[in-house]
Amino acid sequence: MRPRRDPALQPGHRPAARAERRHHHQRPRQRRGDRQGGPAGDRAGHRQPARQRHQVLTARGSVSLSVDHDETHAVVRVADDGIGLSAEDQRQVFDRFFRARNSTELAIPGMGLGLAIVRAVVHAHQGTVQVSSVLGEGSTFTVRLPLVS
């Protein structure tokens, strides 16, 4: 059977309907053979996630996000150079409605639910979430999720 040519890839082609247009964030659908093996895959035919790092600069500092993996887990790290957390606050930071003392003193908005929700979602996927922080220097949150075999 001959492979069908995609008319959208032909020079001068214009889609007939607006719904057929692809936006820059949409990827063409992968075919079964594209997902297995090759330079982007391992011996079992699974694609390896790309290592990525992003940094956002704000008026109050910076936040960086990194995505990586090891043999068994995907690892996501979110780090900032903000106000940091005391050792006592680090033990409670994943509790519902907990607000660090320095965040309430500095009138930083929030309800204290975000990290509790993160912990619940991560645990539901058999993962872990940890915090490391130095008061006055910033915090790093690390999420580890098991890779699907």
**In the chain, where the domains are located:** 7-146
Q: What is the pLDDT of residue 48?
A: 58
* Per-residue pLDDT band at 40 (split at 50, 70, 90): very low
Q: Which fold has domain 7-146?
A: Heat Shock Protein 90 (3.30.565)
Mean pLDDT for all residues in the chain: 75
pTM above 0.85, yes or no: no
Residue pLDDT, tens place only, 50-105: 688 888 887 778 999 999 999 999 999 999 998 899 999 999 999 998 888 777 66
* CA atoms within 13 Å, Cβ hemisphere of 1: 3
Handedness of CA 28, 70, 114, 85 (dihedral sign): negative
